[in-house]
Structure 1
Amino acid sequence: MKSIVSKGYLLIPFFLGLGACSNYLDVNVTPNNPTSVTPAVLLPGAQAGTAFANANELNRFTSVLTQQLAGAANSPATYDVYQTNGADFGNQWNGEIYNGALINYQKLIELGDANNAKAYSGIAKILKAYTFSIATDVWGDVPYSQALQGEAFTAPRLDKQEDIYKGNTTLGIQSLFDLVREGIKDLDATSSVVPGADDVIFKGDLNKWKQAGNTILLKFAMTISRKEPALATAVINEVLTGNNYIKTNAGDMNFTFGASVGSQDPRYTYVYVSTFLNDLILSTRYLNLLTSLNDPRLPIFFTKPGANYVTIDNGFRGTLPTPTANWSRYNKYVVGNAGEGPVRFITNFQRAFALAEAALRLGTPGDPQALYTEGITASMTLAGLTPAQITAYLTANPTVATLTGTTEQKIAQIITQKYIAFTGNGLELWNNYRRTGYPALQLAQNAGGIDGTLPVRAVYINDELQRNPNFPNPAPQSNVKVWWDID
């Protein structure tokens, strides 16, 4: 499986472009002399790879599955009726994750450690953990501890998702939690050089990186909280005790793209520029949800070119609405004025909702109601609403503003608001839906796939099934839950 263990390190330029639905990513560059590549050159391309992994095809897949978007044509239309196979995400596995972001983070770690540039090592370890979490959350068991090791492992084993999250000393597997902790520790060390503008996310602000790393620990803890409540509780308490995590919107971990053609957010390119721009449309179901809640973010999240929002139901197979120019699509909040984005990886509202859920489910410190209100307020503020507008909305909509009912009903409220706040980040929507079952989603029209059920994992890509004998045969299909999914 040389596609993820090659000796050369792939550099994804900042100006990544989107050309075709499945074969756009053809601009990787393998340096002739990798040892001459500097951390400042590698970092922005690696970050762009993670942003593409989050916002490109996997976002289309998961945003359709979780019914914020509906598929009108091509791949999104097949995802909408739960059809997915090993031919779907080869570019994401190879170009964006393993041979893109991850191999560059590995090189950054090696360069940082060799040159006492620990600031780069720390950032790379945090982002490496985040990017590996994308891979394991999407596919389950994946190459991890033996990946990115050059010729040492030409056919790396698949580590169990449980071991990736928890670690396994016997097998030499470092947990994602410890990888992030190690990265944060590196940021405290003396560094011969620190990033500046080459760090697209935080411009070299190492304290913001520490806060982001600790908030990633909260995200990982909540991901496994149904399966491993004791471990999740311990991690959350550790972060709360350290008291250095994202607490304001200014600390959000975002990647911002350029506004010129070829450097834009893939969500913008796909729905506004590419030949596939009429593949996606706002889901009628999501419109109905936000309308029922009187949610003021609706026109901020999605366009309304005419008198009404123009949508279709998930799985719809009738005549599409015309003209297509009036379709409701991602608005500037998601894609930017001209494709800048940002891609929101880790956010203040996410932290608040996670701690609200943890306080209810795990008994960790914090007032669930106060944290829930903080999450809504942070999201609405990010969307551009004023404090007065937010207060007026919460006052006029007490069924939204106040947690009521059983613990489970309160958690359903929290996750529903988290679902709305994360509009544009389908991976987070899908992760939260799989682990909690919220918000409750009805099957799409014309549901197919495996037994007509909504996919709970992606199918391994065909190339890896053919190249690496360590992949299971037969491979798990889309109806087989990943380890942490017990809902």
Structure 2
Amino acid sequence: MKISFKVLAVGALMLAATGCDDFLDINTNPNALTAATPDAILAQALAATAANYNGGINNGNNYNTYSSFATGYWGKSGGVSGFGEERTYNYSNSYNATLFTATYDNLNDYNIIQRQAGTYPNHAAIARIMKAYNFLLLVDQWGDIPYSQALQGAAETTPAYDKAADIYADLLVQLTGAIADINTAAANNTALTVGAAEDIVFAGNMTKWKQFANSLKLRILMRESQTPDASASVKTQLAALQTATDGFITADVDVQPNYAQSTGQQNPFYNRYGATAAGTASGDRAFIIPTNYIINQYKDNSDPRLSQLYGQGTKLIGGVATPGYYGTDLGEANPPAVTGNNIGSRFLLNGGLLKGPTAPTVIMLLSEQLFLKAEAETRGLFTGGEAAAKQDYLDGIKASFMQFYRPANSNLRTATGVNNGTIATATTATPGVTQYNTYITANATNPKVNYDLATVNGALGKQEIIIYQKYLAENTVASTEAWDDFRRTGLPKFPVSLEAATPGRLPKRLIYPLSEISTNAANVPAGVDQYTKIFWDVVD
């Protein structure tokens, strides 16, 4: 695995603070390693993580685009060719290969920061947390990966592969260590300055970083919670985590490097699937339409989020062009186009997904964390029982409405990193809350919405409706987590078109890139294909 060290020229590194052009550009400059300081690297590293997660650097691959196809949110429109691997689910060793290397490049940034912990302890703690975040993304899509010998540059160009379960265990150690590092830095009065411009997530509020670390630990522990080998250890760690001193996130975790409606500075997802800085339709805007499955989930439950996420298309019915929400079946060979008589729905410009060119990029949803808590409570992994589970479940739905209805320029982070828009402070004046109330009232007798109607072990059990509502909340914004949940739980049971190459059989992972096979063949695990399960995939 030959990964270059990647940093920006100093003049561009301070983009988040200065608003310089091209702040998402990434240049290879290995000679600048000793000169670049953590305060000059952090903003760029965080912006790159956001782009890799949702949007892609220079419209490259990203985790949510891949997962949106895999987990039944997206299909291709009839107005474009290609997307063969997305439609047939036959993955090659070139599919998302650049995402593998881009993530390791980003990890190198954080590694550079962490090396300078002596003089930048809180920058290093943030880097330690973000390394855990990125390594988790890699493990959940590829399984065993280079870990203990990775990020050593020329000192180790053919690193060994660590077992995915072992990496999981160490990520928990690293997150616990990062929290301790933050506490030590505060005690020694060497904390990152509150309001620090280079922290484009929490503006130097280290309590918020500790809450994020705890929420990542919850994600990790729940991901592996159904594996027999981990069950006892997971229960012990979850019990301790529930009473963690700093708690969990209280709002969506956003990356906001001062996105602007200028070339090279727009929100990466909006830039790719919405509009250019000049206001014309982006190149990929006409390529993607939602699946009929996801449309019908909102439609069948009288869910106001449907009209907030998608614009209407048209369909010839009895010779009459009839407006409505029209999608495609996952894997369908001849889906609706975006021109002509049969027009599929598209992401609504300035709606819940394409909020605008200056909207922040979410890297963890509050709704995800609340649904994780609800699942842990209903399964007895957290205390509190069904009363606590129901409240977290309802708050998870409310958080989703608040996220999808939140305006583009509504920044949750204040100058001191304090989160606005929390569940505790939400009122009917908060965007999305009125629509949430309407949704809950309209579904009083619907077992897919009303928590009390789901039985503990029935066809619509507690875990099932929690995962179902979580799936609706993570649509496109956090598709990666929905794809992980589907492989972990088998839920929800979205349909796959019979036109797919392997009907009804969805892949379990991505395949190791050709670059790894070419340069590190002795260490790449043998006998792995797209149907080889990640260690936590034990349900089906």
| TM-score scaled by length of structure 1 | 0.88
User: Which SS does the other structure have where 1:281 is aligned?
Assistant: strand
Question: Does 2:395 align with 1:354?
Answer: no
Distance 1:45 1:465 in 2: 30
CA deviation digits over 1:245-284, x for unaligned, max 9?
Answer: 33532xx211235132212333222223443332211111
Distance 2:174 2:161 in 1: 18
Q: How does 1:106-145 map to 2 (within 5 A)?
A: 106-111=111-116, 113-115=117-119, 117-145=120-148
Counterpart of 1:68 in structure 2 is 73
Q: How does 1:160-199 map to 2 (within 5 A)?
A: 160-166=163-169, 175-188=170-183, 189=185, 190=188, 192=190, 194=192, 196-199=196-199
Q: How does 1:261-340 map to 2 (within 5 A)?
A: 261-273=263-275, 274-304=282-312, 307-318=323-334, 320-323=336-339, 327-329=345-347, 331-332=349-350, 335-340=353-358
Q: How does 1:28-427 map to 2 (within 5 A)?
A: 28-55=27-54, 56=56, 57=61, 58-72=63-77, 73=80, 76-95=83-102, 97-99=103-105, 101-111=106-116, 113-115=117-119, 117-166=120-169, 175-188=170-183, 189=185, 190=188, 192=190, 194=192, 196-227=196-227, 228-246=230-248, 248-249=250-251, 252-256=252-256, 258-259=259-260, 260-273=262-275, 274-304=282-312, 307-318=323-334, 320-323=336-339, 327-329=345-347, 331-332=349-350, 335-366=353-384, 367-384=388-405, 385-398=431-444, 399=446, 400-403=449-452, 404-407=454-457, 409-424=461-476, 425-427=478-480
Q: Which runs of 5+ in 2 are unaligned?
A: 16-23, 276-281, 315-322, 406-430
Residues 422 and 330 (structure 1 numbering): CA distance in 2 closer, same or farther, change over 3 Å?
Answer: farther
Whether the aligned pair in 2 keeps the contact of 1:76 and 1:279 (CA below 8 Å) is no
CA deviation digits over 1:284-330, x for unaligned, max 9?
Answer: 11101111111111222223377322422221222633428874126
Distance 2:273 2:527 in 1: 33
Whether the aligned pair in 2 keeps the contact of 1:356 and 1:369 (CA below 8 Å) is yes
Distance 1:108 1:457 in 2: 30
How far residue 444 of structure 1 moved from its aligned partner, in angstroms, is 2.8
Whether the aligned pair in 2 keeps the contact of 1:373 and 1:401 (CA below 8 Å) is no
Whether the aligned pair in 2 keeps the contact of 1:78 and 1:84 (CA below 8 Å) is yes
CA deviation digits over 1:11-41, x for unaligned, max 9?
Answer: 497799xxxxxxxx98433153211112122
Question: Does 2:446 align with 1:440?
Answer: no
Residues 448 and 339 (structure 1 numbering): CA distance in 2 closer, same or farther, change over 3 Å?
Answer: farther
Which stretch of structure 1 is more off in the superposition, 337-346 or 353-362? Answer: 337-346
Whether the aligned pair in 1 keeps the contact of 2:94 and 2:514 (CA below 8 Å) is yes
How far residue 331 of structure 1 moved from its aligned partner, in angstroms, is 4.8
Q: Which amino acid aligns with 2:221?
A: A
Runs of 4+ in 1 over 6 A off after TM superposition: 12-16
User: Which SS does the other structure have where 1:32 is aligned?
Assistant: helix
How far residue 350 of structure 1 moved from its aligned partner, in angstroms, is 1.4
User: Which SS does the other structure have where 2:151 is aligned?
Assistant: coil
| TM-score scaled by length of structure 2 | 0.79
Distance 2:172 2:30 in 1: 32
User: Which SS does the other structure have where 1:345 is aligned?
Assistant: strand
How far residue 131 of structure 1 moved from its aligned partner, in angstroms, is 0.5
Whether the aligned pair in 1 keeps the contact of 2:223 and 2:488 (CA below 8 Å) is yes
Identity of aligned residues (%): 28
Which stretch of structure 1 is more off in the superposition, 255-264 or 413-422? Answer: 255-264
CA deviation digits over 1:367-408, x for unaligned, max 9?
Answer: 221221121122222333454442332122022122412346
Whether the aligned pair in 1 keeps the contact of 2:14 and 2:43 (CA below 8 Å) is no
How far residue 457 of structure 1 moved from its aligned partner, in angstroms, is 0.2
How far residue 193 of structure 1 moved from its aligned partner, in angstroms, is 6.0
Q: Which runs of 5+ in 1 are unaligned?
A: 17-24, 167-174
Distance 1:32 1:152 in 2: 16
Whether the aligned pair in 2 keeps the contact of 1:333 and 1:383 (CA below 8 Å) is yes
Whether the aligned pair in 1 keeps the contact of 2:374 and 2:390 (CA below 8 Å) is yes
Larger Rg: 2
Distance 2:397 2:233 in 1: 27
Whether the aligned pair in 1 keeps the contact of 2:144 and 2:525 (CA below 8 Å) is no
Distance 2:495 2:237 in 1: 34
Distance 1:142 1:386 in 2: 41
